Amino acid sequence: MSQPIANSVAFVTGANRGIGAALVEALLARGASKVYAAARNISTLDAIVARGEGRVIPVSLEVTDLDAIRAAAALASDTTLLINNAGVVASAFRPISDISTIDDLRLELEVNAIAPHAITQAFAPSMIAAKHGTVVNVASVVSLVSYPVVPTYSASKATTHSITQSWRHTLAPHGVNVLGVYPGPVDTDMARALPIDKTPVTDVAHAILDGIEAGVQEILPDPVAVAQGAQYLANPKELERLVSQQMMQQEAQETVAA
């Protein structure tokens, strides 16, 4: 099932910066008729709302707040394209043996997995009634294979992937498409500290919209995602070994540099 971007009514979480902000810009450029831009601090949306010239509606949304989710779904009941983009990395380069990773995992599960699940639950009834719509969850390549430098984030994003599959199964009979996005490193605040090549955020946003328009169920929006997605499908154990080896090399280089 494909979903044209032109004339769609989109709802984007984490719309104030990074991939979310780039998605709002790309949606506007490709003719979306309305974009609900959701952020925790609504004043951070001022510039994007101004650029939208009436097509961007700011929505206050902390994605872990169930009452706020229900209010947003009621406000935006005409949504045809829901993009669960907001996400968090609680810590990186922290060994999984560290006790604080328990709290890291709790937060990451709340924001990266439970929130997209709860938001989809709140928006699904209006899409089911319309017998039409698309839900997009921004997962990660780490959903497919754990990156040892971000072990708890990887675990939370693996849950995002699983939730996406469950919702796909549940909503498909109602004409509602559920897609997952599995980016590699993207040049945003989230990946700022990673000393590796990153794909420009505008390229990623347009690749995501291309995937939505084509109805691709697993959208791989950058070269790392394409390579690791193919490896995952061909030989998941080999991908696990390769990623683990790369991370060990990176850690060794950082130790020498320090």
Ligand X SMILES: NC(=O)c1ccc[n+]([C@@H]2O[C@H](COP(=O)([O-])OP(=O)(O)OC[C@H]3O[C@@H](n4cnc5c(N)ncnc54)[C@H](OP(=O)(O)O)[C@@H]3O)[C@@H](O)[C@H]2O)c1
The catalytic site residues sit at: 153, 157
Rule CB under 6 A: say whether 72 interacts with ligand X: no
Q: Which of 69, 82, 155, 191 binds ligand X (CB under 6 A)?
A: 191
For residues 212 and 121, the answer to whether their CB atoms sit within 8 Å is no
Q: How far apart are CA 159 and CA 39, in angstroms?
A: 23
Candidates 2-10, 45-53, 81-89, 244-252; binding stretch for ligand X (CB under 6 A): 81-89
Question: Which amino acid does the sequence have at 3?
Answer: Q
Distance of CA 105 to the CA centre of its chain: 17
Rule CB under 6 A: say whether 120 interacts with ligand X: no
Q: Which of 82, 190, 205, 239 binds ligand X (CB under 6 A)?
A: 190
Question: Least Å distance between CB 55 and ligand X?
Answer: 19
Q: Residue 181 half-sphere exposure, CB side, CA atoms within 13 Å?
A: 31
Quickly list DSSP for 195-246: -S--B-HHHHHHHHHHHHHHT-SEE--SHHHHHHHHHHHH-HHHHHHHHHHH
Rule CB under 6 A: say whether 210 interacts with ligand X: no
Q: Which of residues 169-188 bind ligand X (CB under 6 A)?
A: 183, 185-186, 188
For residues 228 and 184, the answer to whether their CB atoms sit within 8 Å is yes
Nearer to ligand X, 1 or 71 (CB): 71
Nearer to ligand X, 9 or 142 (CB): 142
Nearer to ligand X, 171 or 181 (CB): 181
Under DSSP, is residue 129 helix (H, G, I), strand (E, B) or coil? helix
Q: Which of 3, 8, 80, 85 binds ligand X (CB under 6 A)?
A: 85
Nearer to ligand X, 44 or 174 (CB): 44
Rule CB under 6 A: say whether 111 interacts with ligand X: yes
Q: Calculate ∠ Cα 40-41-45, nearest 5°.
A: 110
Rule CB under 6 A: say whether 41 interacts with ligand X: yes
Q: How far apart are CA 217 and CA 214, in angstroms?
A: 9
Q: How far apart are CA 191 and CA 90, in angstroms?
A: 12
Nearest residue to 17 via CA among 53, 57, 52, 46:
46
Rule CB under 6 A: say whether 151 interacts with ligand X: no
Question: Least Å distance between CB 175 and ligand X?
Answer: 26
Nearer to ligand X, 101 or 188 (CB): 188
For residues 215 and 3, the answer to whether their CB atoms sit within 8 Å is yes
For residues 212 and 200, the answer to whether their CB atoms sit within 8 Å is no
Rule CB under 6 A: say whether 87 interacts with ligand X: yes
Rule CB under 6 A: say whether 26 interacts with ligand X: no
Nearer to ligand X, 4 or 223 (CB): 223
Q: Where along the sequence are the contacts to ligand X (CB under 6 A)?
A: 14, 16-20, 39-41, 61-64, 85-88, 111, 138, 140, 183, 185-186, 188-191
